[in-house]
Structures are given as C-alpha cells and as structure tokens.
A and B are shown apart, each in its own frame.
Chain A
Amino acid sequence: MQRLNIVITGHVDHGKSTLIGRLLADTDSLPQGKLESVKKMCENNARPFEYAFLLDALADEQKQGITIDSARVFFQSKKREYIIIDAPGHIEFLKNMISGASRAEAALLLIDAKEGVAENSKRHGMLLSLLGIKQVAIVVNKMDLVNFSEIAFTKLKVEYSEYLATLGIKSDIFIPISAREGVNLIEHSASTPWYKGPTVLEILDSFKSVEEKENDDFRMPLQDVYKFTRDNDDRRIYAGTVTSGELNVGDEVVFYPSLKRSKVASIESFNTEVKTSVKESEAIGFTLQTQIYVRNGDVVARADQSAPKVSNRFEANLFWLGAKPLELDKPYKIKIGSAQSTIYLEEIKRVIDGDTLDRADEPSVGRHEAACVIFRVHDLVAMEQFGENQKLGRFVIVDEYDIAGGGIITEVLEQYTTRRTKALHVNDVLVDKAGESAEFEEELFALLRKHFPHQFN
C-alpha cells in the first residue's frame, strides 16, 4: 500500500492534536484498548477526556495541554497509508514544526473559527511555501463555537485566501469542521448543510504522492566513496542517493565542481539481481572504469545531459531558527546535497515578517524570521535553483553545532572569484592529467582521513 506524509499545522490551541486523535478514533486506527486507557487516565486525574491526549504522549505535553514535539502517527484510509505529522503550533517549538513539515508532501493548515487568523496561521502558511509544499488545504476548526455559521466561515476564507495569494499559494480548499464533535472529518454533517465540499478524509485521499519524474537529468550528490578491503574486496564504490534521473552501466559521468570524469563500469548492490540501471530516489553505488579521486559533496551528472550550476554565490529565501540572529560576514556552515562548506551572509535584501510581509534595512535576521538574502560560499559548490531541482536547490545553515536555518535557492548568482578558487581549479586540471599524482593524492588523503577524521566532515 502506498504511503503519503501529511503535516498538520496551525496556531497553538487551534486543535491539531484533537483533529488527529479524532481521525484515528473514527477510522478505527487505534490499537485495542488505547481509547479506553486514555479515558481511564483522565478519569483518574479528574480531568475531561480530550482526543488530543491520544497524541500528546510526553508527560509534559499532557500536563500543559500543548504539543511540544512533532509526532509521527500512522493511520490508514481505504485508499492508502498515511504518516500524519502532528506539528506543534506554539512559537517556542517552531523548529519542531518545521522539522515535521519538511518531511511532508501535503499539509492541512488549521484555523480556529472563533479566534480567526492568528500570527502563527500566517507564519505557518509562509513556511509551508518556503518548504516547497504545494498541496495545502485549510481546515477551519471549532465551527461549533460560531454556531456553524456560513458567514463566519466565508469571511475567514476570504481573509486567509488573500494572505495566501500574497505568498503565491493558491488554495481554494477550505473545510469547515469541528474536530471535537467529528463534524466533516469522515462524513458530511447535518450541522453544515451549506457546505458541499469534501470532508477531511476525502481531501487527504485526493492529495497526490510526489511522483518521481523519470525524464529529468541524472543527479547524485556523492555521499561517500567506499573501499572495503575485507575478503579481498577490491571494488571502489561511489555511493549516494539519486535525486533525479537515471544512470546506466556504460554512461559517462562528470563530477561537479571537480570536473573529473569516467564511465560507469558496474552498478553494485547486495541481495539483488545484477543491476544495469538505477533511478531517482534509489540509494545506490557504482564503480568506474578508471580510478579517480573525488570527495564527498561532489554532484555526479551524466556527460550526455545538462550540467548542474557551479557557483559560490546565490540568492535564497531563508527561515531562521537559531537562538542567535543570522549576521552579516560571520562564518557559518552550509549543508547542501552532500556538500559542506563555510558560508557568509553577504546581503539581506529584505526581512519577511509573518504579518506585514516586507521590512527592509534590517541588520540581521532574528529567530523565527524569514528573509530574502544573498550568501557567499567559501568553496565552489554544485547547486540548482529550487524551481528546477528541489533537492539540490535547498540547504541548511549550521551555527556552531545546530542546524539554525534552512532555505531554498531562488537564483544561482555569478561566481565571486578569489585567487584561492582559481588556484584550486588549476590544481585539479593538473592532477587529472598526471595519473601518478592522483594516486599519490589518494594515498595521502587516506592517511589524513585515518589520522584526522574530523577534518573531513
């Protein structure tokens, strides 16, 4: 059975955990005795039962009645299997919401009918668009608190649609529900006779799985090169996960940015029949006809197809989660594809506020803010624009030890040239021409890697 990852976002107390708990209960997706045991626990603690308790598993969550971290919940409709990601709405846990949402292929965004559009409703809408999630349905919850009024629903729908339009998101799916009372979750309800659209379950089943596109050009960020000598294994295997396209035995491949090339001698795998071809999303390994020295982080492409862009400057949309603000000219680490390098913030074009959208002339990007910025990378890196290749067009920024921000590349800019990058390039060409020095380089790196492993990642 196929599986789809769905995230449920929205402001705190707008009813996300309640919605999921109720969906689980109404579709018989709970293990036997779970509902009874949670009800009993509530009784023992003298508090009213809430469907959210089925989800909020951590002791602190139950005590405070809020979701702290996103949970993965498994659930099945007649059509397929889902992982529903229950993302916390509290601003304090925005990083957990984003962690959950980044795994999703589609989203439900909850808005409280009575309270209306909250700051986080807007922020979450913006973050979903930054994460590249295109399938979004807006679920207007707690309709029972506004007497299932169509006018209240329509008013909210118009207001939020206008906001989404400013983000470039077009969503005309709005569903009036009451999660607590099970209205319009699985079945249409007599409480909202004016609503003719789909139920929540119907919307979930209508979302499309993000399909693999087989016609794109081949790309594989090189994750590692393995040479296990045990049992006289002399294969040198280039390993990684295919982000797009297809690769066959005999294809000529080029590594970017090092520009080294060779032909695929074999595709290696364990406990399968001999493979001659691999496709998007597969975690693969191949050997080459000639031994070349390349490092983690290069992007492999086919010589007969388009090349990825190589640069050290790009413009991006970014969201910042770090405790310290993102500052100009301070060194950070970037992770993009399988590459890692040092990165500097060159320019803040504008800070995007959840509420008012644009603010100019900011000296830094603060926690929970989004911005349009220009970055400069220390080394040349192979990359793509997000619109062309999602997986090579997104990146994260590491501050000290933590991932502090993430973003998508909106434009790859012209290289910023320094003497150092020029020198590197010349050196690569020389090494390529002299097979001997390639061998020496490889032995040297093996030694360095062995004795100074941390320098290499």
Chain B
Amino acid sequence: MDHLDRLEAQSIYILREAYRSFPNLAMLWSIGKDSTVLLWLTRKAFFGHVPYPLVHIDTAFKIPEMIKYRDEIAIQWDLNLVVGQNKEALAKGETFVNGLDRLSCCKKLKSDALKNTLDGTWARRKWNPYKKVWEDELNGAPYTGVIVGVRADEEGSRSKERVFSARDEKSEWDASTQPPELWNQYKTDFAPGTHVRIHPLLEWTELNIWEYIERENIPIINLYFDQGNGKRYRSLGCFPCTAPVDSQARNPKEIIEELTSGKFKDIAERSGRAQDKDGGGTLERLRKEGYM
C-alpha cells in the first residue's frame, strides 16, 4: 500500500463508522477540492452509492461556476442535494458587500445558515434525483451527524480536531474538553441533542488531495486551473473575499509540481482568504461559534 492507499482506507473506515452510527447523517459539500474528494471517497466506501444527503450552504456570493458545477454533478451522480441559505440576511442586505465586516458576514451567511439548515429550523431546498426537480422541505429533521472535509494542515485550530467531534446545542466547540479517541475506536455515543462533526480528511495534506485527484481522475471544478489568463483559485470561497493566485497550472499534475518544487512550496494554502487574516485566533473564534 502506498501513502494514498492508506489515507483512502482510513477515510473509508471513518465514513462507514459514521454511516452505521448516525441515522440522520449528512455531508457538507462546499464544491471545493476537499469536500469533492470526500464525496468521491463516499462512493468508494459505499460501492458507487452516496447514501446520505449532501448539504451545500449557498451564501449567494459563491463564484457562479461553482453552482453550475454543483448542479451538474448532482444530476450525474444521482445525489440528494440539500441547499441552505440565510434568506433573511440577504433580503436585508446584511452582507460584506453592503458594508458589514467580513467576520459578521461569514457568521450570518455561513455559520448561521449552516446551523439553521442542519437543525431543520430554516427551509431546505432539496434536489429530488428521482423526479429531477427542486423541492422545499419545511421543518426537516435535524442532521445529528455531519461529515466535513476539514484538514489538520489547514490552520492551527483544525490541527487539534478529533475525528468525531461533538458540538453542543449551540453548535459550539470547546477544544479543552474533547473526549479521548483511541486507535481507530472513535467516540460514537452521544447524549441526545448533541451535534457531531465527522472529519475523515484530518490527516490529508493539500498535496495529498491533489495527488489523489490526479490518481483517481476525479472531475474537479475547473476554477482550480488556469483557463488562459494566468490565474487560478487555490482555495474556493465567496468571490468578495477569495482571490485567485497567479499560476499557470492547468491540471492536477501541474498543481502537484507547484506544491512540491514550484512557487507554492512554502506558501500557506489559505493565503488568498481575507477572513483568516483579521488578527490572531480569528478562525478559532469563528470555529468555536460553528464555522467549518
């Protein structure tokens, strides 16, 4: 087994543990490379099937190609796609482009939308792969387990995550009271009302992700590749806060080169993300409040 085989096997084991432990399980799909790899690993774990819904939080500021790609893959792979949105904040114009600060915007459009979509408080828009139509779901059952594609190498507070990580009723995270996790025996027993985040990709690095995309030939969104103007996205997010990087990499192989010996060898991945930079411990604060 090579290192990608090992990472793959470990992630599949975790996905299967999640599936057998939570009757109401969902997976977050941000359309980015990590959660798309997670989606691919799901099809590996369940032999071509995706046996849980995929939740996408649409901030209305996602790069338009992302939504197009999302809907195409959903049809192609027969996905149960669930879309959540903070309609109220958008209607009132409480957003960064209307003058709100970045962190508050993230909290409203991402964290709050996520929380209220997961627990079924807000209406969920669902793609019905059988009837091929979008339907609204009101008062849906809460998802008690949520699979998320965060990686330990992305940022300090993520390096301390557990694979099965409990959040309380308010979706808050307390890093100092995390339960033990031994060998591959994860914590799968939880008090009623607990929300659990499951992190099958913790031990993957950005480089591993691209090596795997290349090996498996995973259809990844083309925003990651230079389309001819010498720019590409290294990390995807909302367009007002995520900038492309200068790069001529046109495929996974060229990205791997950039990461191992080329220009991005020692540049942090999220350096194009503005919300990480507003002072020390910012992302940790966002994450305590429920941000991914």
Binding site for B on A (CB under 8 A): 1-3, 28, 30-34, 41, 57-60, 68-74, 81, 83, 93, 95-96, 98-99, 102-103, 212, 223-224, 226, 228, 230-231, 233, 235, 237, 239, 241, 268-271, 279, 281-283, 285, 296, 321, 333, 335, 391, 394-396, 398, 400-403, 406, 453-454, 457
Contact = CB atoms under 8 A, between A and B. Distances in A.
Contacts of B189: 333, 398, 400-402
Interface in B6-28: 6, 8-10, 12-13, 16-17, 19-21, 23
A95 B47 contact: no
A72 B203 contact: yes
Interface string B182-194: 1111011111000
Nearest to B17: A223
Contacts of B240: none
A31 B159 CA distance: 15
B280 interface: yes
A394 B182 CA distance: 10
A233 B47 CA distance: 10
A403 B187 CA distance: 6
- For A1, A73, A270, the residue with the greatest tally of chain B CB atoms inside 10 Å of its CB is A270
A102 B47 contact: no
B221 interface: no
6 contacts: A58-B157, A60-B175, A72-B203, A74-B205, A268-B47, A282-B9
4 smallest beta-carbon distances between A and B, as pairs: A57-B156, A283-B12, A31-B268, A95-B180
Interface stretch (B38-46, B93-101, B244-252): B38-46
Contacts of B1: 212, 279, 281-282
Contacts, number: 166
B136 interface: no
Contact of A402 (B51, B156, B179): B179
Contact of A57 (B8, B48, B157): B157
B135 interface: no
B47 A235 contact: yes
Interface in B109-163: 152-153, 155-157, 159-160, 162
B170 interface: no
A38 to B, nearest CB: 9
B2 to A, nearest CB: 8
Contact of B183 (A95, A102, A231, A398): A102
Contacts of B8: 283
A81 B13 contact: no
B12 A403 contact: no
Nearest to A103: B183
A72 B150 CA distance: 13
A21 to B, nearest CB: 12
B175 to A, nearest CB: 5
Contact of B159 (A59, A72, A400): A72
Nearest to A101: B182
A31 B185 contact: no
B240 to A, nearest CB: 24
Contacts of B266: 28, 30-32
**B-side interface size class:** 35 or more
B227 interface: no
Contacts of B229: none
Interface in B216-261: 216
B181 interface: yes
B178 interface: yes
A241 B183 contact: no
B183 A283 contact: no
A95 B9 contact: no
Nearest to A335: B185
Given A74-B205, A270-B44, A401-B189, A239 B179 contact: no
A71 B156 CA distance: 8
B268 A34 contact: yes
Contact of A73 (B47, B155, B159, B284): B159
Given A59-B285, A228-B51, A241-B13, 18 more contacts: A1-B3, A57-B157, A57-B160, A58-B160, A69-B178, A72-B159, A95-B179, A103-B183, A237-B47, A279-B1, A281-B1, A282-B5, A283-B10, A333-B189, A401-B189, A403-B181, A453-B23, A457-B21
B202 interface: yes
Contacts of B17: 223
A96 B1 CA distance: 29
A235 B49 CA distance: 12
A96 to B, nearest CB: 7
A404 to B, nearest CB: 8
Given A224-B19, A281-B1, A403-B181, A241 B9 contact: yes
A400 B266 CA distance: 45
B78 interface: yes
Contacts of B203: 72, 83
Nearest to B24: A453
Given A57-B159, A228-B46, A457-B20, A96 B3 contact: no
Given A28-B266, A30-B266, A283-B8, A69 B280 contact: no
A226 B182 contact: no
Contacts of A406: 180, 182-183, 185
B76 interface: no
A81 B46 CA distance: 30
